Amino acid sequence: MKIAIGSDHGGFELKEHILNYLLSHGYNVDDFGTDSLESTDYPIFALNVSKSVANKTHDRGIVICGTGVGISIAANKVRGIRCALVSDCFSAKATRQHNDTNVLALGGRVIGKGLAEEIVDIWINTEFEGGRHNRRIDLITDIEKLEKS
Ligand code: RB5
């Protein structure tokens, strides 16, 4: 699985931590920045990570800002992206099983590193359940087509 990861300055420290965590566990991860604590704009990183997932260069994306809110909103503007802001393990599992999310958003100023590792592990390793959830994903895609045509 190829993973793209990116953050703004508010998510920088957690992004570096999760990047190193995933690399040390053998995952194939590409870092889309930012590369320091200098103030920057989260939509840039949401767009670059999300485009790479939407065009299938990467299988999944992880985006991080201070709260995770802004960067998740921006990621969900990219066609084909289903991004969930997650700060608990139950939602990490459910959003893969039910929503087939392809981008995970985290809040670098909200959750600690240990919880973030657990969330990422669960989110990466949980499969989509399909079945009735396919119909709901298709309805989301219909909205996307209507709104973007
Ligand atoms: C940056 O200060 C902060 O607004 C950003 O990281 C994020 O929390 C926005 O939703």
pLDDT in tens, 64-90: 999 999 999 999 999 999 999 999 999
What's the length of the chain? 149
Distance 88 CA to ligand 1 centre (A): 20
Pocket test for ligand 1, best of 71, 83, 106 (most atoms within 8 A of CB): 71
The helix or strand, by DSSP H or E, that contains position 16, with its residue range, turns out to be helix 12-24
The reported pLDDT for the residue numbered 8 is 98
10 within ligand 1 shell (Cβ under 6 A): yes
What sign for the dihedral angle of Cα 3, 30, 76, 78?
Answer: negative
Binding site membership of 66 for ligand 1 (Cβ less than 6 Å)? yes
C-alpha of residue 145 to centroid of ligand 1, in Å: 29
CATH code at 135? 3.40.1400.10
Catalytic residue among 17, 25, 89, 98: 98
pTM over 0.85: yes
Q: Which domain holds residue 125?
A: 2-147
Cβ-based burial of 93 (10 A; exposed 0-12, middle 13-18, buried ≥19): middle
CA of 13 to the centre of ligand 1 (A): 13
Q: Strand pairing partners for 7?
A: 64
Q: Tally Cβ neighbours within 10 Å of residue 86.
A: 27
Q: How many domains does the chain have?
A: 1
pLDDT digits (tens, 9 = 90+) for 38-57: 999 999 999 999 999 999 99
Contact 19, 31 (CB under 8 A): yes
